[in-house]
Structure 1
Amino acid sequence: MRVVLCGYYGKGNGGDEALLATLLQMLPDRVTPIVLSGNPQQTRDRYHVEARDRMNLFSVVQTLRKSDAFIWGGGSLIQDVTSAISPLYYGGLMTLAQQLGLKTIAWAQGIGPLKRDTTIKLARQTFGNCTAVSVRDQGSAALLSEWGIPCTLAPDPVWALESSPVQGLWDLPAPRVAVTLRSHPQLTATRLDRFTRALIDFQKATQTCILLVPFQQSQDLAIAEAIAAQLPGVRKVFCLEDPQALKGLFCGVEMAIGMRLHSLIMAAAEGCRCFALSYDPKVSKLMAEIDLPGWNLTEIPDDCHVIYNTLLEHYANGNSLTPEQRQSLVDRSLMHQELLHQVLSS
């Protein structure tokens, strides 16, 4: 069975690459995946799969005509806050796959935010015509329920991604703390400066090795390097492109401070204490669902000493998820795999 995988792949985003790696890990053995990618050669080399240029619409259409199924492969593909064009791309391909008679799966989706009437109408139509749908959060499930569309609700599949060791990690002194920030309008220069000064004091007090981890280098690397240049103690900017290694990094970390959704999922899955800085409803939903401490970016305290004391308190006395909680999240995330096998094995 030839199955086309569609997502924000091959664009240098660690979270979306982790979703692709997990999807490939969960597909039935009989499936031959064809990935629509922003960097087809890199995708072929990394995952040993067929790949097509996601923007070459002639090639994409030809691939769909020769395939048996089409999957939206995880993440917030259908939202119109960061881009009005993006949902039209994904929705258009899903509509075409449905018109061509392919089995269609909306897999591990986080739907919204949806602000435009045209996007809402497109989302309702495409999700409603899918062979099967799974979502990763209560809000998405509630929206589909409101539309009368059945779905499977399960934790983000990256909870179940297999991790791999990171070369050089264990040569760095312990304890280690990972920091994953990204550029965002709400992370103003003033807020970033306050956070950096708090992190400097935090490192002095704890004598931790700070790992700056860009999940998408185009958005994260400059911030990581700017913070690293100011830290007084041992620090390292860790640029990892393999999503399994990215998750494996958190095996050797005591605490993670993260904006990126999948940095927090990976860290929590590996037993780290986590502190979240939310820039998006999907991060806030995760904070609520697994009781993660943190702030929305707009709520970061004005006093860097308050930030410092909060981080220090969580480092000293905060809790990670218990092994039982982590295993429960992994087990429930495998419901996304069960859905794949039900649809693609019939």
Structure 2
Amino acid sequence: MGKMRVLLSGYYGKGNGGDEALLATLLQMLPPDVTPVVLSGNPEETHRRYGVESYNRMALLQVIKALRSCDGFIWGGGSLIQDVTSTISPFYYGGLMAIAQVMGLKTIAWGQGIGPLLRPQTRWLARQNFAGCVKVSVRDRNSSALLSDWNIPHILAPDPVWALESKPVAELADLPKPRIAVTLRNHPQLTETRLTNLTRALVDLQTATQAYILILPFQKSEDLEIAEKIQLQLTDKSQILCLEDPQLLKGAFRGVNMVIGMRLHSLIMAASEGCRCFALSYDPKINRLMEDLSIPGWDLANIPDDVNSISKTWLDFYQNGESLSFEKIQSLVNGAFLHRELLQEALK
């Protein structure tokens, strides 16, 4: 009997560090006797980086061909099923899952963060999709509560990226310490005024701590312009570091004293590497992580208008805040491996 072929669907090949980290973790967790096939926004790059067969996620004929060649289908982590940032997204992913189920593929929803689902049509489609899966895992309590309301069996475990193996970043070895990392992204609520205030507060924080500032764009198209604006205001003790390999991206947080992060997976990666985290939330998924791990921070809309207040809050956290304990990190990493056990059970 030949190897089982499984089609992986997520926001892959779009240059988003968090979603690439989910793909890397999924590939790391798949049973060795499973052949992964990946739908990607950049199939050539995905093939080059991970050595996997890959097809254009938006080319219908290629997608159908890939589905026909596979025995299983996996939603591969992240907030795929929500209708706040995109009304099309849940229909794209939900439509693929529905086709896979009609074709008789073994379907799995893996590492999902569900919602918000504001529209009746998307809620209905999501419920049908999840009900048709042989196994479902979610990464937060709200998603678990929704599936419980729908009477859909599932497991709840920490985000899979907690378990991603990191790699050291060679070029960081000679950089000065202490270090503070910053990961901001483009968002309507991150207005020019707020960005200016945050940048001025960061300058004050650097002056007070003499820290080297690492600016890490997680998605160049969304983050790089902001990174460049911030760096213009900092001394030469700063660097923009663009890392495409998610294991290196996670490794960049080694030896970092504190991170100021907007992106969910920047906070997860940093916390898993023993870094103190301060969150700037633009999405309920960030707030859930803040609640679960007692991470301090602000919603973008509630960032103080006073630069001095921002910098004082950051300085106090830098001096007195704590990272997660080694035991807590290990507990989260071990919990994340439940997603691997689910794959092993489902893909026997």
Q: TM-score, normalised by structure 1?
A: 0.99
Letter paired with 1:271:
G
- Give the Cα–Cα distance (whole angstroms) in 2 for the partners of residues 15 and 174 of structure 1: 26
Q: Is contact 1:71-1:106 (8 Å) kept? A: yes
Q: Which whole-Å deviations, capped at 9, do the CAs of 1:313-344 have from their partners, x for residues lacking one?
A: 11111000000000000000100000000000
Partner of 2:199: 196
- Give the Cα–Cα distance (whole angstroms) in 2 for the partners of residues 76 and 195 of structure 1: 27
Partner of 2:179: 176
Residue of 313, 316, 321 corresponding to 1:313: 316
Unaligned runs of 5+ in 1: none
Mapping of residues 155-304 of structure 1, within 5 Å: 155-304=158-307
Query: Residue 233 of structure 1: CA displacement?
Result: 4.6
Asked if residue 69 in structure 1 is aligned to residue 68 in structure 2, the reply is no
Partner of 1:134: 137
Runs of at least 4 residues off by over 6 Å: none
Asked if residue 12 in structure 1 is aligned to residue 29 in structure 2, the reply is no
Letter paired with 1:258:
G
Partner of 2:147: 144
Query: Residue 252 of structure 1: CA displacement?
Result: 2.3
- Give the Cα–Cα distance (whole angstroms) in 1 for the partners of residues 85 and 269 of structure 2: 24
Q: Which whole-Å deviations, capped at 9, do the CAs of 1:178-231 have from their partners, x for residues lacking one?
A: 000001011111111111110001001100000010000000000001000101
Residue of 93, 109, 112 corresponding to 1:109: 112
Query: Residue 170 of structure 1: CA displacement?
Result: 1.4
What is the aligned residue count? 345
- Give the Cα–Cα distance (whole angstroms) in 1 for the partners of residues 251 and 180 of structure 2: 14
Q: TM-score, normalised by structure 2?
A: 0.98
Asked if residue 336 in structure 1 is aligned to residue 339 in structure 2, the reply is yes
Bigger shift: 50-59 or 319-328? Answer: 50-59
Query: Residue 232 of structure 1: CA displacement?
Result: 2.5
Note the aligned Cα RMSD (angstroms): 0.6
Letter paired with 2:292:
E
- Give the Cα–Cα distance (whole angstroms) in 1 for the partners of residues 287 and 112 of structure 2: 16
Query: Residue 171 of structure 1: CA displacement?
Result: 1.4
Q: Which whole-Å deviations, capped at 9, do the CAs of 1:9-56 have from their partners, x for residues lacking one?
A: 000000000000000000000000000000001000000111011011
- Give the Cα–Cα distance (whole angstroms) in 1 for the partners of residues 26 and 6 of structure 2: 12
Q: Per the alignment, in what secondary structure is the counterpart of residue 115 of structure 2?
A: coil
Query: Residue 57 of structure 1: CA displacement?
Result: 1.0
Q: Which whole-Å deviations, capped at 9, do the CAs of 1:111-158 have from their partners, x for residues lacking one?
A: 011111110110011011111100000000000101111110000000
